[in-house]
Structure formats: structure tokens, C-alpha cells
Amino acid sequence: MNYSDLIPVIRRLAIEAGDKIMEIYNSDDFDVKVKSDASPVTEADEAADALISAGLRAAFPDVALVTEEQADSHEISAERFLIVDPLDGTKEFINRRGDFTVNIALVEDGVPTRGVVYAPAKQRMFYTDSVGHSVEETGPFDAAEAGETQPIRVSEPNNDALMIVASKSHRDQATDDYIGKYNVKDSKSAGSSLKFCLVATGEADLYPRVGRTMEWDTAAGHAVLAGAGGHVVRFDDHTPLVYGKAGFANPFFIAYAPGVDLKEA
């Protein structure tokens, strides 16, 4: 995989998908269906998925593709694969809260090595460059040509005054109990994979997830955080979160800036 070829493609597809999503988001009404796992799906999920999938298959026909909206792809087993959540944070989209993202990542040998996270309603975009360092591009965003970027880096945490970010739609008592083990200066909520990006930029120090996620929810954000110097580990034993698992379901996990004194579950 030539990373110099990959990054412009996934960046462009994320912006094009974001444009399609915003077209539907800003319409008077849109259809919402319920999938077999009881999660919602909208016409924006499906339109973004079709656009991204076609673009990735055309550009990288020899690389396996896993995407949330194509159940057949969930049977794939490969050491290297592209993984897509075309609209992460569908509940945020339906409720018109803006905290939704387009996620595209490359996984190699169990590790998300490159990725892009684009939040079109928030006008924020984060991605890894060709050498694996993470940047934030400042808008307005043009699919054809990259704009100005700035390197991003995790914080140097103060364990007496930590900044925490947690899920907006899935926060529960177990999450609050775990956060309670830390000395917290401030806690904020965010939707979708934006939480990884807030740790990557130093806007938060710690993101614990005590709840179900899938690899397509986390791979792109994980890649961006890793490229900014951060880590993602399993909640139970603090070993690295790995990808390519059968069924693509994640265990509970913790995303954090090195220097955070991690507490036991």
C-alpha cells in the first residue's frame, strides 16, 4: 500500500460523502429505517456508503473492504483491509445535533495505521498524513485540493486535573463510575469518533468507552489518535486494542494521552 496514494483518496471521499450527508441533513425530512440489530440507518448512511465504497474499490481493487452498511463484508478476514463507517453517529444525525462523522481507515496486521475523520456539520477534519503523523485541516474543505493543515498532538496530562470526554448518546452509570476514579477538572460529551480526535488534539486527556462499539466505529479515530501520540487499550487488561477480530466487535476500551495514570476497571 502506497500511503501517498491512499491519503488523498480517503480525504477526497470523506469530503464528497460529507457533502452528500449535509445535503440530506439540511433537507426538510429524510427516511429513517431500523436495521436487524435495532440500530437506525438513514438514506444519508446509504448514500455515503455507496459513494465511498465505489471510490475505494476503484482506487484500491486489491485491498479488502469492510463497511458497516454491507453485511457481506463483515465475513471478511484479511491482514490488510480498508474499513468504513460512512456516517458514524446516526443518532446525532437524526436528532440534528451535528456530532457525526465520516470514518475511513486502513488496518494492517491488527493496527489502524492511516485514517480520516471528517465532521461535516462541525467543519472539522482530522487525518494521518502519508508518514503517519496526524493533522487537522482547516476549512473550507475542497475535495479536489487539500487546504492548510496543522500538526496535532496529545496533551501532557495533569493527573490532578484531567479533561475527560465521554459518549453523548451512550453515557451510563458504569462510565460515570469509572470516570469517578480520576481527579477530573472538566468533563465533556461528544458524539461519534470525534471523541478520539479531541484526545488527539489535546482538548481532552481521556476517553473511556464502557459500551458496545464495532471496529468501523473506532478504526479511523484510533489511527488519528495514534498519529498524534495517543493510545487505545482494552478496558479490562490495558493491552492494545486490535483489529480484524471475527465479527469486528470491540471490547470496552480506553483512549488516552500517555501520562494519564490509568485506573483499573
Annotated binding residues, as ranges? 68, 85, 87-90, 217
Residues placed in the known binding site for substrate = 68, 87-90, 217
Q: Who contacts 3 (Cβ-Cβ below 8 Å, separation ≥6)?
A: 114, 130, 131, 132
81: CB partners within 8 A, 6+ apart:
63, 64, 65, 66, 106, 107, 244
* Residues in Cβ contact with 24 at an 8 Å cutoff, skipping those fewer than 6 apart: 30, 42, 43, 44, 47
Q: In angstroms, rounded to a whole number, what is the distance separating the alpha carbons of residues 256 and 195?
A: 10
For residues 246 and 175, the answer to whether their CB atoms sit within 8 Å is no
Question: 242: which residues sit within 8 A by CB, 6+ positions away?
Answer: 110, 111
| Residue 71 burial class via C-beta count within 10 angstroms: exposed 0-12, middle 13-18, buried 19 and up | exposed
User: φ and ψ at 186, to 5 degrees?
Assistant: -155, 150
Residue positions in the annotated binding site for Mg(2+)?
A: 68, 85, 87-88, 217
Residues 6 or more apart from 58 whose CB is under 8 A from it?
A: none
How crowded is the C-beta side of 145, counted as CA atoms within 13 Å?
2
**How far apart are alpha carbons 77 and 34 in whole angstroms?**
27
CB 150 within 8 A of CB 134: no
